[in-house]
Amino acid sequence: MCYKHQFYGIMSHRCVQMTPTLRCNQRCLFCWRSFEHEVHEEEECSPEEILAGIPGLQKRALSGYKVSPYVTDERFSEAMDPKHIAISLSGEPTLYEPLPALIDLFNSHGYTTFLVSNGTRPDVLDKCRAFQLYVSLDAPDKETYIRLCRPSGDTWESVQESLGLLGSKRSAIRITLVAGMNDSNPMGFGRLVGDSGAKYVEVKGYMYLGYSRKRLDRRSMPEHSHVRSFAERVAAASGYRIRDESPLSRVVLLERGEA
């Protein structure tokens, strides 16, 4: 189980991680995907094709676990019948035009959906009825955002607009903390969080993984103690409270206080 089980009760072995597009309009330094082998053209599948493809592809992705001594038969067969879909892997999902229809289709087939977005397309997010919506907030100000997330357009205001949608949905803000890059202004993050109305905030340490290793140093990965003390200061500045934490995943969960 990953920390989403601990925080939200998600059964990790029944959760499909997927993306409807590999394209992205940001080039975050901490992203694990490759910018060096970027996809420039892709053919969009319809929501129905994506839904139909999931069982077979999930089976293929997990097939090696069948022979693992750590996986019981019962858990393996449960994993073949997924219940959750995390639209979050690589690429910005709102660049897939039929995203709202895809989520509605998943919902109508009984899946719970987590949607993770960089927040640059609030018009699309507003139409999405995901079980839980995540918007990334990786900078307390525009200058840090441009330096760290390297957007292809002027999208800082759009991210702010997306944060403004969160009060009306079950929602979370994801802060990826990168040591030496965006960890000096917890008050600034706290102000944006406090104004957002999001139910949850995850303050998560950057992980030195994938292609991000070509752009950042191992020392960019903050210790859990640093993530925790940063999260405490964001909480103090925003009026949120610390709800839970997972030192192994270097993540701290904040929750909005009841008014």
118 interacts with ligand SF4 by CB under 6 A: yes
Q: Do the beta carbons of residue 189 and residue 237 sit within 8 Å?
A: yes
User: Which residue from 31, 50, 95, 198 is in contact with ligand SF4, where contact means CB under 6 A?
Assistant: 31
Per-residue interface string for the shown chain with ligand SF4, residues 204-243, x marking contact by CB under 6 A: ----------------------------------------
Between CA 28 and CA 145 the distance in angstroms is: 9
Between CA 201 and CA 243 the distance in angstroms is: 10
Per-residue interface string for the shown chain with ligand SF4, residues 173-202, x marking contact by CB under 6 A: ------------------------------
* Closest separation in Å from C-beta 123 to ligand SF4: 17
Please provide the size of the chain in residues.
259
Stretch that binds ligand SF4, among 22-30, 61-69, 126-134, 231-239 (CB under 6 A): 22-30
Q: Do the beta carbons of residue 169 and residue 134 sit within 8 Å?
A: no
Reduced to 3 states, what is the DSSP secondary structure of residue 172?
A: strand
Angle (CA) 72 78 81, round 5°: 150
Of 112, 155, 111, which Cα lies nearest the Cα of 135? 155
Chain residues 33-72 in contact with ligand SF4, contact rule CB under 6 A: 33
Please identify, using beta-carbon distances, which residue of 18 and 237 lies nearer to ligand SF4. 18
Where do contacts with ligand SF4 occur on this chain (CB under 6 A)?
A: 24, 26-28, 31, 33, 90-92, 118
